[in-house]
Amino acid sequence: MEPQTFRTLFLGKAGVLFVVGFVAWLLYASPVSAAWSGTMWAALGVAALVALALYFARAWRQAAVRLDEDGITTGQGAASRTWPYGRLRHIGRSGAFRVRLCFGAEGPGGPHSHLGLDVVRADAFTEELLDWYAYTQGRELEPVEHDQLAA
């Protein structure tokens, strides 16, 4: 099977635009900036745009969810984490984008964990995830009641 990469919704991180706009408005209305030239405002604007572009580029990279033979990998680089298919116990869907994955304990008696993802193509992600699970585990993912997971 070919590895697949899906994207999570990261537009929630766009709230930073409101913060930048509010700070810019406060700075514009402040008496400290009253004597600033157009060059100074242009330099601040360019710096703010570069910072926002770097912020959104990082958010785009971190929005990747990769399905391959190792498992489900969220994020990229140092912030990435791989969840093995063998620990997957349940897949739940709520809404158009939300996919909730429940993983069994890493060791005996340990707690199980959840991973919630807001995936752009949630139906395709779920189908591909089930295919990868069957491919790597040699069986289909059986339906499990959530109460049975803690046992």
57 & 29 share domain? yes
Are residues 137 and 79 part of one domain? yes
Q: Is a pLDDT exceeding 60 seen at residue 145? A: no
- Work out the pLDDT band at 58, boundaries 50, 70, 90: confident
pLDDT at residue 101 above 90? yes
29 with 78, same domain: the answer is no
The answer as to whether 34 is a domain residue is yes
Which is nearest to 8 in space by CA: 56, 52, 60, 71? Answer: 60
Residue 11 has pLDDT above 80, yes or no: no
Look at 103 and 79; give whichever has higher pLDDT: 103
- The yes-or-no verdict on residue 15 having pLDDT over 90 is no
Question: Is residue 26 predicted with pLDDT exceeding 70?
Answer: yes
